[in-house]
Amino acid sequence: MFDFSDAKDFGRKLNRAAPRLQPLAQKVVAKVAHDVTAQAVASAPHDTGALQNSIKPYVSGLSAEVRPGVNYAHYVELGTSKMAAQPYLFPALDRNAQSFTTALAAAAKKVMPGG
């Protein structure tokens, strides 16, 4: 038989901490979205600047998207049969994945000391 008392205790602590954790998590999501945006803009090809100028973060609560607004952005990122890929968005996401996880864990520790 398994002892789930630790998991149940953690669940209770998480439920109590949720109201304090949510605003901190929202700040983490917004900051990382802006960091990804800045890095994507910096590394996007800039023939005319239209692609770079179109990359924007869209943040709503615990959700965020970073997306370019020009219709050819995915061709630049992924390439075509006639053009090599020039990735700018996926590398920016990759570079920020660890900082997102670290910042979220730090926020959780603030509201749930001792786990």
Q: pLDDT digits over 67-86, tens only?
A: 999 999 999 999 999 999 99
Answer yes or no: are the C-beta atoms of 46 and 52 closer than 8 Å.
yes
Say if residue 1's pLDDT is above 60: no
**Helix, coil or strand: residue 56:** strand
CB 28: neighbour CB atoms within 10 A? 22
> 5: pLDDT confidence band, cut at 50, 70 and 90?
low
pTM as predicted: 0.83
Higher pLDDT residue, 6 or 38?
A: 38
Angle between helices 5-43 and 89-111 (to 10 degrees): 140
Q: Where are the domains of the chain?
A: 5-110
Pick from 3-7, 30-34, 36-40: least confident: 3-7
Answer yes or no: are the C-beta atoms of 66 and 55 closer than 8 Å.
yes
- What does the pLDDT read at residue 113? 66
CB 88: neighbour CB atoms within 10 A? 22
